[in-house]
Amino acid sequence: MILFYVLITLLIIIVIISIILWKKSISYYTPLSPEESEAEDRKFLKEKVNYIKHARNLFTLLNKMGVEWWPTEGTLIGILRYGSNFEKLPSIGHLATDTDIDIMIRSDSDEHWKKLREKLKKEIYGIGFNSYSEKVYNKLVWKLVCGTKDYIGGWDIHSDIHRYIVNEKENYASSNIPHYPFQLWSDKIPYKGVITDPSGKFRRAKFEDIIVPCPFKAAEILGSWNNKEYEKGTLKYPVGGVFKNKYGRYSWYEGRVHKLTQEDKKYLYRIWENLQREGFESFIENTSYTYDVTIISCFIEIKSKHKKNEYKSWMKNLLTYKGPMILFIDSKNYKMVKDLRKDLPTRIIETNLRDLSTQKYKGKFNHKLGWYYNTNMHKDGMNLDEYSMIQCEKPNFLKRAIDGNYFNTPYYMWLDIGYCRYNKLPDNWPGKDVMGRKLKNKIFLMALKNNKCSKPLKSPKMYTYKDPPRSVLVTGGIIVCSKDNIDLLHSLFYNKLDKLSREKKEWAGMDQYILSHIYCENQSLFEVIKAKSHKWCSGNRWFYGIPYFLDQS
C-alpha cells in the first residue's frame, strides 16, 4: 500500500513538472509583443555592458601584471571580427560572439603557475569577479575559471584562463595536459613564427578601447585549435553566439550558421579595413602589407620658423604615402591629419607637448650656447625649449612606433612632417628591395655635404650649419632603422643628450648636432650618405632622402 502511494506521489510530481515545462516552452516559443521585444533589447544591452566591463577589467589587470598572455577561442574570434565581442549587423541585429572570456597565459614552471594562480585569485575580487575554481587533470591544474554574478543570453559570464609553456631552446609552446589545444601540432605548436613573430613579438589587436596582444598567425591558430574545433569558413563570419531569435528572445545558439546578406558582408569588411588601417589585427589577410617601411612623423603646433599653411602644404605631400604611417599629432590637428590620410593604413597617436619624454630637459638645453639664441630667433616669439623638445623627441617617437609593432614592417623611417616640400611621394616609392640593400643592417642617416668625421675639438664651441660638430652636418629630417637597432640608436642619442645638457659646454637642443656626435663616435654602426641635388626635391639637398630610396642604383 505504501508503495502505491509513493508511486502516485511521484506520478503527480512528474505531471506537475511536465506542465511547468510545457508552459515554459509555450511561453518561450510565443512571439513577444513589440514592447516586450524592446525590453529584451534593453536587457541584452545591459548584459553587453557587464561583459565588456569584466573583459576590460581582466585585460587591464593582465597588462599591468606584465605576464605574457593573449585572448583565444571565441574571445579572439570576436576581437578579430569586430574589435569587440559584440556587433550589430544589418540583417541580424545585435549579437555576441561568446559568453565567456578565454585567455592563454604563459607560465613555464609549475611553481610560477601556482604563484600566478594565487595572485589572480586575489586580484579578481577587486575587478568585479566573485568566484574561482581550478580544473584539474592528472593532478595538474590546467585551467583557472573566474566567475561573475552576471549573465548574457542565459549563460554565466566567466573567464577561462589556460596555461601554456614555452620551450625557447626548441622553439615550441605546449599545454600542461595532453591533447588540448594543440593536437594538430602534435601538442607542440611553433612559438616564434606562429604564436609570436620571428623576433618574439605579438601583433596588436583591439577590444573596444583596450589594446590586447594578438598571436602572429591568429587565423591559422584558430583554424587548427583543439583539433579544428572551429570549422573552415566559420571564423570570419558569425556562427551561433547570442542573438535574437524569431520570437524576439536573446539566447545562446551553438553552431547555427547565419544567412548573411551582401550588406552584412560589406559591413564586416569595412570593420576589418578600419581595424587594419588603425594598425590592429583583423580577418583581412596579409596585414603586414607589401611595403617594406613604416613612416613615422609628428606635428605639434608651436611658434616656428615656418607658418602653419606651409606645414599643411608639405604635410599633404608626405601623407600621400600609400604604405603604413604612424603619426604623433596634437589634439588641435588630429582631425585634419586623419582626413588627409583617409583610408590609408595609419595609426594616429594623439600627442601634445606635455606628453613628450623630453619635457625633463626643459630649461637644460643650454640655448645661450647655440646659434638659434644668438641670432635672436627667440625674440620673434619662438619658444626654444618647445622647439628643442620636439626635435629631440625623434628617437623616442621611433622607438614607441617600433615597440608598438603596429604594422610589422622590416624598416621604420622617421621623416620630418615638412620633408616633402616640392612634390608628392612617388607612387613606386620606395623602390623594390632597395631598403635592405642600401641600409646594410645599419642605422641610416644623411649628411648635408661631408660624411667624413674630423678629429674632435679639445673644447666645444658654438656650432653652426657651416661649422658643425666634427665637420659633419647630419640633416635629422630622415632617420631609418629596424627593430634590431632602434634600442641602440635610442640609447646613444639620449646618453649624449644627457651628457651635453649636464656638462653645459655646448648647445644640447639640436637633434642634428647630437646625431653628428653619435655618428662620429660610433661610425661602424651607421650608414651615412652624402646628400645630392635631385630634381624631385628641386635641387634642395636637405630632402634627398626620398629620391635616394627611389633609385635602384
Clarify whether residues 348 and 210 are in a common domain: no
Among 277, 308, 326, residue at a domain's last position = 277
- In this predicted structure, the answer to whether residue 143 has a pLDDT above a threshold of 90 is yes
Q: Is residue 129 part of a domain?
A: yes
pLDDT at residue 510 is higher than 50: yes
- Residue-wise pLDDT tens digits, 237-277: 888 899 988 888 998 887 677 788 989 988 998 899 888 87
Same domain? For 98 and 221 the reply is yes
Residue at 214 is within a domain: yes
Examine the domain organization and report whether 511 and 378 are in the same domain. Answer: yes
Q: What is the DSSP letter of 456?
A: P
Q: In angstroms, how far is CA 296 from the centroid of its own chain?
A: 15
Contact 509/367 with Cβ under 8 angstroms?
yes
Q: What is the arithmetic mean of pLDDT over 200-212?
A: 92
| pLDDT, mean of residues 381-409 | 90
268 lies in the same domain as 310:
no
Helix (H, G, I), strand (E, B), or coil: what is residue 527?
strand
Q: Which of 49-63, 83-97, 455-469 has the lowest mean pLDDT?
A: 455-469
Per-residue pLDDT reduced to its tens digit, 314-348: 999 999 998 899 999 999 999 999 999 987 888 89
- Give yes or no: residues 401 and 543 share one domain: yes
Q: Is the pLDDT of residue 19 over 90?
A: no
Asked if residue 317 and residue 210 are part of one domain, the reply reads no
pLDDT of residue 425: 87
Is the pLDDT at 288 greater than 50? The verdict is no
Please give the pLDDT value at position 287. Answer: 42
Q: Which of 211, 245, 277 is the last residue of a domain?
A: 277
Structure confidence by residue, pLDDT tens digits, 413-443: 999 999 999 988 888 888 777 888 888 889 9
502 and 526, same domain (yes or no)? yes
Domain that holds residue 124: 35-277
pLDDT for 18: 64
Is 28 inside any structural domain? no
Written as nine digits, the cell of 257 is 550558421
Q: Are residues 184 and 53 in the same domain?
A: yes
- Residue of 19 and 323 predicted with greater confidence: 323
- Residue 244 identity: K
**Are residue 337 and residue 251 in the same domain, yes or no?**
no
CATH number of the domain within which 443 lies = 3.90.550
Q: Quick check: 476 and 391 in contact, CB under 8 A?
A: yes
Q: With bands split at pLDDT 50, 70 and 90, how would you rate the model's confidence at 28?
A: low
Give the chain's end-to-end CA distance (angstroms, integer): 106
Give the pLDDT band (50/70/90) at residue 233.
low
Give every CB contact of residue 198 below 8 A, 6+ residues apart in sequence. 192
Mean pLDDT of 441-463: 88
In terms of C-beta density within 10 A (0-12 exposed, 13-18 middle, 19 or more buried), how is residue 100 classed?
buried
140 shares its domain with 246: yes
CA angle 205, 206, 209 (to 5 degrees): 155
Residues 6+ apart with CB under 8 A from 382: 302, 303, 304, 305, 372
Report DSSP letters for 375-403, one per residue: TTGGGGT--HHHHHHHHTTHHHHHHHHHH
Read off the C-alpha cell for 447: 649628411
Distance CA 226, CA 185 (A): 10
Question: Which tens digit of pLDDT belongs to each residue from 87-141?
Answer: 999 999 999 999 999 999 999 999 999 999 999 999 999 999 999 999 999 888 9
Whether 228 and 325 map to the same domain: the answer is no
User: Which percentage of the chain shows pLDDT scores above 90?
Assistant: 63
- Is residue 490 one of the residues assigned to a domain? yes
Answer yes or no: do 222 and 305 share one domain.
no
Whether the CA torsion 468, 471, 472, 473 is positive or negative: it is positive
Collapsed DSSP state (helix, strand, coil) of residue 105: strand
Structurally, the chain folds into a number of domains equal to: 2
Q: Residue 430, preceding bond cis, omega within 30 degrees?
A: yes
Q: Does any domain span residue 13?
A: no
DSSP string of 256-272, one letter each residue:
EEP---HHHHHHHHHHH
- Final residue before a domain boundary, out of 252, 277, 302: 277
| Cell numbers for 436 | 635592405
Mean pLDDT calculated for residue range 194-209 = 90
Average pLDDT of the chain is 89
pLDDT-based confidence at residue 286 (cuts at 50, 70, 90): very low
* Cα–chain center distance at 252: 31
Please tell me the predicted confidence (pLDDT) of residue 552: 53
Highest mean pLDDT among 19-23, 33-37, 165-169, 438-442 belongs to 165-169
Smallest CA-to-CA distance from 125 within 147, 99, 140 is with 147
Query: Sorting pLDDT into bands at 50, 70 and 90, what band is 53?
Result: very high
pTM of whole model > 0.85?
Answer: no
pLDDT of residue 461: 77
Q: How far, in Å, CA of 450 to CA of 471, rounded?
A: 7
Decide if 180 is inside a domain. Answer: yes
Within a domain: 298: yes
284 within a domain of the structure (yes/no):
no
Q: 404 pLDDT band (50/70/90 cuts)?
A: confident
Dihedral over Cα of 332, 337, 338, 340: its sign: positive
